[in-house]
Amino acid sequence: MTPFKLTDELLAEIELLIESRKDTALKSLMEEIHYADIAEIANDLSEDSATYLIKLLNSDKTSDVLIELDDDVREAILNNMSSKEIAGELDELDTDDAADIIGELPQEIVEEVISEIEDREHARDIVDLLRYHENSAGGLMAKELVKVNENWNVLTCVKEMRAQAENVTRVHSIYVVDDDDKLKGRLSLKDLLTTSTKSPIKDIYIPKVDRVNVNEKPEEVAKIMSKYDLEAIPVVDEIGRLVGRITIDDIVDVIKEEAEKDYQLAAGISQDVEADDSIWELTRARLPWLFLGLMGGIGAAAIMGGFEEMISKHAILFFFTPLIAAMAGNVGVQSSAIIVQGLANDDLKGSISNRLIKEMLLAALNGIILAMVLLLFTWFWKGNFPAAVAISISLVVVIVVAGIIGTFIPLFLNKRGIDPAIATGPFITTSNDIFGILIYFWIAKVILGI
Amino acid sequence: MTPFKLTDELLAEIELLIESRKDTALKSLMEEIHYADIAEIANDLSEDSATYLIKLLNSDKTSDVLIELDDDVREAILNNMSSKEIAGELDELDTDDAADIIGELPQEIVEEVISEIEDREHARDIVDLLRYHENSAGGLMAKELVKVNENWNVLTCVKEMRAQAENVTRVHSIYVVDDDDKLKGRLSLKDLLTTSTKSPIKDIYIPKVDRVNVNEKPEEVAKIMSKYDLEAIPVVDEIGRLVGRITIDDIVDVIKEEAEKDYQLAAGISQDVEADDSIWELTRARLPWLFLGLMGGIGAAAIMGGFEEMISKHAILFFFTPLIAAMAGNVGVQSSAIIVQGLANDDLKGSISNRLIKEMLLAALNGIILAMVLLLFTWFWKGNFPAAVAISISLVVVIVVAGIIGTFIPLFLNKRGIDPAIATGPFITTSNDIFGILIYFWIAKVILGI
């Protein structure tokens, strides 16, 4: 299979079919295309064309496409659908996806949409899910799962399972609960099939089963599932009752979103934006960090203004401020990135002071190597040996301080319960610029005795 | 379940048990701990203790732990095992994991280890996998899968499936092949169970099945599986024969590694390192980028040296070089990060020139807003209006140029088949520093007429 690639030609062809209302040709073309790819197409069409295309699909494809659409496109399409039509799509979807869509609907139509859902048990499950916070295991889980009572025997169990499995796309595990619905363990399909039909489930289930609490953070669930290679995990409430199940495909999305968010924060982009968003959205995501950088630059200028009398004697010092600032920024970003990643992977051990000592040694080693190169260059360039020494010594000190700041800030934020990823990128660069320049001129002043 | 957390106390307790050779206590403690957590423990023990601990475990746990260990710890432990012992572990592992371990063994013992594997079919499968490049679908896939011939009937099929499923931990799909082993489609378990036992498979299989070519890049496989929410995908060779299967847990690892690599590149860390690596390893990953930054800074100093005569008249210009350099760097990183992410997610549409125009407009908008703030500050600070105007106009131009460079470089690298992620971080910052300062002094010279 060559993966589907949305070409400009295909898009133009589809636009044309829609405009000329060639429904039959359009339908048979869509037959061949996976719903995730249809969503990709619809994301690139005009609002009207996308709505037209999606209304043309048969219903279980429509609902799958809806879930895959970009938020704004989905909103536009749902705006053009009646409550009954929306309910019809929700009927086709798993409870977690249906709840996500309801969460995006305008408040005033939510009740109406829910009342139009035909399968009332499905509707109840969806309403249950609405209660959980988006940023929790409860907000990720689906109600679709296969569970059996520990007091049943194998025969009852198999019968019940068949009925339940109808609604579950993929059966990963059969969960065992007690009369209070508390999760007791899981059942292997093999044991079920090889045991006498009269055996009580109690005697054959596996009492050990990984689980997460309904309030657990999605990132934690992702860590657990990827560490233990789980494809599904049951979710329990505060008193241990089985309330849902999270599958690996949702976790893959969590992992990707987390990674994108951290990457964007490191690059100084504060909201979830894409290259195709509007200039206005991109400005809102980028300008605040640039403004921070501007303030940092103004601060640096003010500091340098305080050393103005040095200019007449050692103009060369001023030529190296961009170098000092850049190195302080680079080292700060490097050390903070390593700490942020270590925190995210839970593999930082040892105390904060040990970390700081290690980073100091590392920064000093790198700093000394770089300073020697710089010393030779500056000395030969202007023949001003004292200034060359001052610049090189400053570089070592600045790099060490930058490394310490870069190590300390994310550890500190993490201790305070703040996402350490915000400490990477412009934040660390800007603060290191200022510290770096301040240290630089101060050391130069001491060494050169001005 | 509260996720397992490796505390210093637990580690100390285990160290003590190992040193005092309390095997029974150690064994019963390990019984309770998941293999992925035992690997985490072993990673933090001394080499000798880790080897001792792992040799103490029962064999199927040992093999699972081995796979989860850090590369260097695994290498140390395997060094302490005989070929026969290693072969014993490989017997327990899935073919993909076994092949990965063999790939890490010293060449001179590979043959011996393979010859010691008891299950000869397993050994053949492992040897088959060794032929594929690590960085391909073939390098990721396992041989364990359930496949049936299209010419069988349901009864034969069910019998054969039972035998095959013995070796497969999780059956995701039943694949249908023809007499030449070419992948024809897949079979739903439901259809299999609800059809007469005499029906030929040919009549009931689903002919449409996603697949990847054995030479496909892991990142592409990850994109396909996550886009289409697949938990497993069959791998075919150049003539369509079914040769293996990739499961979602391996793909989760690929996604995480990719994200970490991009994040590290953006932060100026060129090799896969962790906070706990040695100072030497960390230096090797960080120093090259710092050296690049140093060269950039020296370049910037040389440029400024060329404008030395300006210092006497407009020292203020020199105070703002860090600001100009920082803003050029920040904008460059922002725009390159958005492009790199868009390329990674395959959602960049339209031509390069459209992208560049959009980024120009965006950068100009941001630049003008920031320049107005800067103009007011510099004017009030030193009362030098011409210099304030020169600095502010330069800022707008520098931001626009930085945005264009940040947009163009990753697009250009991508066209050339080079990973665009290397264009983020120090690379873009350094080149933008130099361009920014050059543009800045040049514009100032024109406006101030020096």
- The pLDDT value recorded for residue A169 is 67
In A164-230, DSSP assigns E strands to 174-177, 183-187, 212-213
**Phi, psi angle pair for A145, to nearest 5°:** -160, 170
Q: For residue A140, is it within any domain?
A: no
Task: Give the CATH number of the domain where residue B128 resides.
Answer: 1.25.60.10
* Contact assignment for B333 to A425 by CB distance below 8 Å: yes
Residue of B nearest to A430 (CA): B326
Torsion of CA B371, B375, B376, B377, to 10 degrees: 100
Provide the token pair at A112. 């109406």
Percent of chain A with pLDDT over 70: 97
Nearest to B288 by CA among A433, A334, A359: A334
On whether both B96 and B18 belong to a single domain, the answer is: yes
- Helix (H, G, I), strand (E, B), or coil: what is residue A419? coil
Shortest Cα distance from A287 to chain B (angstroms)?
A: 6
pLDDT value at residue B343: 87
Cα separation, B140 vs B244, in Å, equals 9
Q: To probe the interface with B, which of A97, A236, A287, A338 has the most B CB atoms within 10 Å?
A: A338
CATH number assigned to the domain comprising residue A399: 1.10.357.20
Residue A334 predicted with pLDDT over 70: yes
B107 to chain A, closest Cα gap in Å: 30
- For residue B116, being part of any structural domain is answered with yes
Verify whether the Cβ–Cβ distance B319 to A334 is below 8 Å. Answer: no
Do residue B330 and residue B427 come from a single domain?
yes
- The residue range of the domain holding A283 is 279-448
CB–CB contact A341 B275 (8 Å) = yes
Q: Please list every residue in chain B whose beta carbon sits closer than 8 Å to the beta carbon of residue A248.
A: 231, 248-249, 252
Name, of A154-163, A301-310, B175-184, the range with top average pLDDT.
B175-184
CA distance A286 to chain B (A): 7
* Among candidate residues B114, B134, B154, the one where a domain is terminated: B134
Q: Are A293 and B327 a contacting pair, CB within 8 Å?
A: yes
Q: How confident is the model at residue A3 (pLDDT cuts 50, 70, 90)?
A: low
Q: How far is B270 from B261, CA to CA, in rounded Å? A: 8
Report the gap between the CA of A200 and the closest CA in chain B (Å). Answer: 25
State how far the Cα of B377 lies from the Cα of A53, in Å rounded to an integer: 54
Asked if A291's CB is within 8 angstroms of B333's CB, the reply is no
**Minimal Cα–Cα distance from B305 to chain A, Å?**
7
DSSP string, B398-425: HHHHHHHHHHHHHHHHHHTTS-GGGGST
- Find which of A98-102, A261-265, B259-263 is predicted with most confidence, using mean pLDDT: A98-102
Retrieve residue A93's tokens: 């979807």
Question: A264 lies in a domain?
Answer: no
| A242 Cβ neighbours under 8 A, 6+ residues apart | A145, A147, A175, A177, A181, A182, A183, A234, A235, A236
End residue of a domain, out of A135, A168, A198:
A135
Residues B61 and B199 in one domain: no
- pLDDT confidence of residue B193: 66
Query: Could you give the CA distance from residue A72 to residue B405 in angstroms, rounded to a whole number?
Result: 30
> CA–CA separation, A298 vs A319, rounded Å?
17
Residue A368 pLDDT > 90: yes
In a domain? residue B326: yes
Q: Which residues of B touch A352 (CB under 8 A)?
A: none
Q: Based on the domain organization, do A362 and A403 belong to the same domain?
A: yes
Check B362 against A283: CB less than 8 A apart: yes
Q: What span, in angstroms and rounded, lies between the C-alpha atoms of B371 and A294?
A: 9
Q: Chain A residue with minimal CA distance to B351?
A: A8
Torsion, Cα of A16, A18, A24, A29 (10° steps): 70
Distance from first CA to last CA of chain A, Å, rounded?
A: 72
Calculate how close chain B gets to A106, using CA atoms only, in Å.
Answer: 28
CATH label of the domain that carries residue A203 = 3.10.580.10
Residues of B within 8 A of A265 (CB-CB) are: none
A267, A163 contact by CB (below 8 A): no
Q: Which residue of A has its CA nearest to B2?
A: A212
Residues of A with Cβ-Cβ distance to B319 under 8 angstroms: 300-302, 304-305
Q: What is the pLDDT of residues A7-66, one digit of tens each?
A: 888 888 999 999 999 999 998 889 888 899 999 899 888 888 999 998 888 777 889 999
Element (H, E) at A105: none
Clarify whether residues B127 and B158 are in a common domain.
Answer: no
Query: Is A421 part of a structural domain of the chain?
Result: yes
Minimal-distance CA residue of chain A relative to B325: A322
Q: Taking chain B, what is the end-to-end CA distance rounded to the nearest angstrom?
A: 72
Q: Three-class SS of residue B232?
A: strand
Chain centroid, CA B309 distance in Å: 50
In this structure, the answer to whether residues A300 and A410 fall within a common structural domain is: yes
Average pLDDT per block of 10 residues along chain B, 450 residues long? 74 91 90 90 89 85 90 89 92 92 91 92 93 92 90 84 71 87 86 76 88 93 90 93 93 90 85 81 89 91 88 86 92 90 79 85 93 90 86 94 92 88 82 91 87
Helix locations, A57-106, DSSP H? 59-68, 71-79, 83-92, 95-104
Name the domain boundary from B106, B134, B162.
B134
- Contacts with A345 from chain B: Cβ below 8 Å: 274
Residue A96 lies in a domain: yes
Pairing of strands B242-247, B232-236: antiparallel
Considering only CB atoms, which chain B residues are within 8 Å of A399? 290
More confident: B411 or A349: B411
> Order of strands across the sheet with B174-177?
B146-149, B174-177, B183-187
CA-based angle B56:B57:B61, to the nearest 5? Answer: 160
- A223 shares a domain with A287: no
State whether B279 and A323 contact (CB < 8 Å): no
For testing the chain B interface, which of A8, A323, A424 should be mutated: the one with the most B CBs within 10 Å? A323
Contact A368, A398 (CB under 8 A): no
Please name the member of B8, B256, B294 whose beta carbon is closest to the beta carbon of A373.
B294
Are B127 and B164 in a shared domain? no
DSSP string of A55-68, one letter each residue:
HHS-HHHHHHHHHH
How many structural domains compose chain B? Answer: 3
CA dist A157 and A10 (Å) reads 50
**Cβ–Cβ < 8 Å for B322, B395:** no
Domain-embedded: residue A268: no
Same domain for A110 and A172, yes or no, is no
My answer on whether B25 and B129 are in the same domain is: yes
In this complex, the residue of A231, A308, A349 whose CB is nearest that of residue B248 is: A231
Q: A294, A370, A414: which to substitute to probe chain B, counting the most B Cβ within 10 Å?
A: A294
Q: Is the dihedral of CA B266, B269, B272, B276 positive or negative?
A: negative
Task: Give dist(CA A421, CA A402) in Å, integer.
Answer: 17
Chain B residues within an 8 Å CB radius of A61: none
| Cβ–Cβ under 8 Å, residues A153 and A199 | yes
Give a yes or no: residue B262 inside a domain.
no
CB contact under 8 A, B322 and A322: yes
pTM: predicted TM-score of the whole model, two decimal places: 0.84
**Structure tokens that stand for A272 in this block:** 């979830």
Report the residue from A331, A345, A348 with minimal CB separation from B290: A331
Residues on chain B touching A263 (C-beta within 8 angstroms): 259, 262-263, 266, 337, 341
Determine the pLDDT at residue B2. 55
Residue A70: pLDDT over 90: no
Counting other chains too, the contacts that A305-308 makes at CB distance below 8 Å and 24 or more residues apart are A305/B316, A305/B319, A305/B381, A305/B382, A306/A441, A307/A441, A307/A444, A307/A445, A308/B315
The reported pLDDT for the residue numbered B225 is 92
pLDDT on residue B346: 76
d(CA A132, CA B359): 40
Integer Cα distance of A298 and B325 in angstroms: 12
pLDDT digits (tens, 9 = 90+) for A102-136: 999 998 899 999 999 999 999 999 999 999 998 99
Asked if B396 contacts B367 with a C-beta cutoff of 8 angstroms, the reply is yes
Instruction: Please check whether residues B238 and B289 belong to one and the same domain.
Output: no
Which of A213, A227, A337 is nearest residue B264 as measured by Cβ atoms? A337
Select from B191, B220, B228 the residue whose CB has the most chain A CBs within 10 Å, as the one to mutate to test that interface.
B228
* Same-domain pairing of A417 and A392: yes
Is A247 in a helix, a strand, or coil? strand
- Cβ-defined contacts of B225-230 (< 8 Å, 24+): B225/B251, B226/A249, B226/A252, B226/A253, B226/A256, B226/B251, B226/B255, B227/A36, B228/A34, B228/A36, B229/A36, B229/A249
pLDDT grade for A193, boundaries at 50, 70 and 90: low
CA of A376 vs chain B CAs: smallest distance (Å): 11
Asked if residue A58 lies in contact with residue A85, where contact means CB atoms within 8 angstroms, the answer is no
